[in-house]
Amino acid sequence: MFLKGKTALITGSTSGIGLGYARALAKEGANVMINGFGDRDAIDGYVAELSAASGAGALYSDADMTKPGEIRDMVADCTAQLGAPDILINNAGIQHVAPVDEFPEEKWDAVLAIILSSAFHTTKAALPAMKAKGWGRVINTGSMHSLVASPFKSAYNAAKHGLSGFTKTVALEVATQGITVNNICPGYVWTPLVENQIPDTMKTRGLTRDQVINDVLLANQPQKQFVQVEQLAALALFLCREEASAITGTNLSVDGGWTAQ
Ligand code: NAD
């Protein structure tokens, strides 16, 4: 349990990849604060499961990642109740699929706020304590869309490319202070976020469900398999180890070969 005594705050962790990170970190003994939306009974169940796995603290914050004040309160609550975050994972995200000239303005604003601006607000709030301890890990969940684009995802691609630039900038600012900052860039992972974009993609491109899965989602993923949540969690855990302390400011692809093309 190499993370005993450490505290992790993971945004967007009531589901999918974020919940996978939370489970992996708790298994190594970390206090964990999860965040996101969803069924309250299910979330209470995750909190109990995480605490049982770690033998440490686990809490839930319902902070909305579009609201800077709620983000600051979340970091303060985590600090007061579990300890200042030693590990911050910026993972919350949403998707909206539409041609740019039809892209709803409120969706553009929401995607940018949840993926990109929330990472700024959490990082700004969490860094001072990491600097004081001389140790920290900031892990962002980017995407292959931090590195390359696909059509009809202008907001998502802009936000994820932005997250890559933000990662590099913060990594440089804290490079001598024991804090690393990295951007994990998954290919398609089978989670509710992917499931939920299938109907819109069917409509936008006039395809069946199977065609969306095989001809759109996995078309450019050379391994022809979805990335697994556990594979991303294993990388996040490695980034928390001392052996990974020289890895900073990077985009780390876990994409079945997507960006090799
Ligand atoms: P998911 O829909 O399962 O999880 C998203 C999480 O974000 C949920 O916990 C949700 O409640 C939370 N969330 C959404 N809006 C929020 C808000 N306003 N405030 C707080 N929390 C909010 O999706 P996922 O696939 O696990 O995605 C997690 C991250 O991984 C996202 O940043 C996504 O862009 C990225 N990603 C996913 C894939 C994939 O194929 N699934 C690929 C590359 C990158």
Q: Which CATH architecture has domain 7-187+228-254?
A: 3-Layer(aba) Sandwich (3.40)
Tens of each residue's pLDDT in the chain, 261 residues: 999 999 999 999 999 999 999 999 999 999 999 999 999 999 999 999 999 999 999 999 999 999 999 999 999 999 999 999 999 999 999 999 999 999 999 999 999 999 999 999 999 999 999 999 999 999 999 999 999 999 999 999 999 999 999 999 999 999 999 999 999 999 999 888 788 889 988 999 999 999 999 888 898 899 999 999 999 999 999 999 999 999 999 999 999 999 999
Query: What is the distance between the alpha carbons of residues 93 and 111, in angstroms, rounded to a whole number?
Result: 7
Torsion from C-alpha of 215, 219, 224, 226, nearest 10 degrees: -90
What residues contact 204, with CB distance under 8 A and at least 6 apart? 97, 98, 99, 152
159 alpha carbon to ligand 1 midpoint, in Å? Answer: 13
Cβ of residue 66 lying under 6 Å from some atom of ligand 1: yes
What residues contact 1, with CB distance under 8 A and at least 6 apart? 27, 28, 29, 54, 55
**Which residues are catalytic, by number?**
156
User: Are residues 167 and 252 in contact, defined by beta-carbon separation less than 8 angstroms?
Assistant: no
Mutate which of 11, 17, 37, 90 for ligand 1? The one with the most ligand atoms within 8 Å of its CB, which is: 17
Cβ of residue 191 lying under 6 Å from some atom of ligand 1: yes
User: What's this model's pTM, rounded to 2 decimal places?
Assistant: 0.96
> DSSP character for 224?
-
Query: What is the distance between the alpha carbons of residues 114 and 245, in angstroms, rounded to a whole number?
Result: 28
Domain limits, the chain: 7-187+228-254
Query: What is the distance between the alpha carbons of residues 135 and 124, in angstroms, rounded to a whole number?
Result: 15
16 alpha carbon to ligand 1 midpoint, in Å? Answer: 7
